[in-house]
Structure 1
Amino acid sequence: MSCRLNFGGFIPLSTIDWYGRAVSVLFYRGCPLRCIYCHNHLLQGGRETVEYGFVEDKIREVRDFVSGVVFSGGEPCAQAKELIDLSTLVKDLDLAVGIETSGFYPDVLSSLVENDLVDRVFLDIKAPLDDPKAYGEITGVDGAEVTRRVAESLEIVNGMVEVRTTLFRSFGTREFVRGIASELSGRECEWVLRQGVPGNAPSEAIRSEKQLSRDEVLSLGESVLDLVGNLRIRTIEKGEEKVSSALSAADSH
């Protein structure tokens, strides 16, 4: 198999990128979006091309220590052939495949799902899908086009998706979070609300914001439990926690 990958990096062992699994993470360089709070913004552009064999060797070296490989970025679906080839390799090694994506390439996700080349999709939904203005402000591209693509991707991966939303003060009000929850209500999905880290953002406006506290993120999660029951939060203070009324009660004691 021959391909050249625009390579962004490799983490041999991670226990935070796929809840409940030890995995390797392969980063693809390049992304069509320019999100104002992207924590991997150094991978949005540039080229560092490597041969397929270089990546294959890295995966084979750790296959006995992990149960899967997560393809991240950048945007892995932007390199469709390379993603399909490497997903095939990972499946042939009896490892699970996870893909972190913005949902900008629904056709690529459809091909992966149809060919049984992905086990879990981590879909980054950045704003309510009925708010193209907010989506455009966050991503730096046409909001109507990106929301259309993300909505299509969400339909394709229903039943195998963990939705992730990163929250900041400017993009993390109760109305904002509830708008996303309304899109997810009734779907077969998990949802993770992530505490954004303003200091890592490329946007000066985001960097100037005060970080949401763990309690504020928890409160936002609790406010949508009537719409989405399978919900977790991820914060610096306490890591990953499942949101429930019992969690809030425990905090009050």
Structure 2
Amino acid sequence: MGMSPSSEEELMREFDEAPGVISATTQEDPVELAMERDWQANLAAEEAARQKAEEEKYRKQSAKDTPKQAQHGRVLVMSGRFSKKTVVRPLRHSVQKRGAPGGGETFREIMPLMTRHIESDSVVAASDSGSGRTKALQALGVPAAQARHGLDEITPTVSFPSACLSNKQARTVRKAAAVKKKPAAQFSPKKKSFRIVGGDNQCESQIAIGKNQLRDSCITLASVMSYALRAYREDRAGKVGCNPAHFADVLKDSRWLFA
């Protein structure tokens, strides 16, 4: 007894749809599967690149539309704890987004000043942890105990191996360690390492002296300090730095008021 064509087709369809059975007529070509996967991957990569380009375009446009402001009165202060000498050098103004904190000093703008005014072979530095200043001190070969103000560090103690010191630097550390009241340095018992007090309190105190002198002279208030610093910067541009004790001398010429 024979089967009709329709019965054979129904039987084959049931056989193909049975669990665990793979029909030879429904198998896909591996090459086509690989091509399909590559096409989908390329499509996803193109979409990701398009989204990244749109985000970058939006970021640039947003940065372009953000109001900018120039920050004047930037100075580099270098002060010696033992020599009692202070050098204050003006820096060029910087441009920041309105409301943003002031940018730090860059390596390019402070390296010539530090090279000129710091005797690197006899100095051990204590400063804040600005990237430009850190790079400059490393280039000069000066060990630096730096305070990270972003982590609320004010006067941290930092350890260094004694082998990193030159003869003059070792003499400076010994001098600091010999202070009986609040020594700024201390050697280990075997003299193989030493600890020094970091931070830029010395320089900040010198700036405070200049501000107080300006206020005492009734020349300026804290709210208009930027104008006084602007006058100082313009008067001292290209000149050797001076002691903040003479900070108010620049204001003897009243022409800066109309600059």
Per the TM superposition, whether the score is higher than 0.5 is: no
The structure whose residues are more often strand, as a share, is 1
For the superposition of Structure 1 and Structure 2, which TM-score range results when normalised by the shorter chain? under 0.3
User: TM-score, normalized by length of structure 1?
Assistant: 0.25
User: TM-score, normalized by length of structure 2?
Assistant: 0.25
Quick check: which has more Rg, 1 or 2?
2
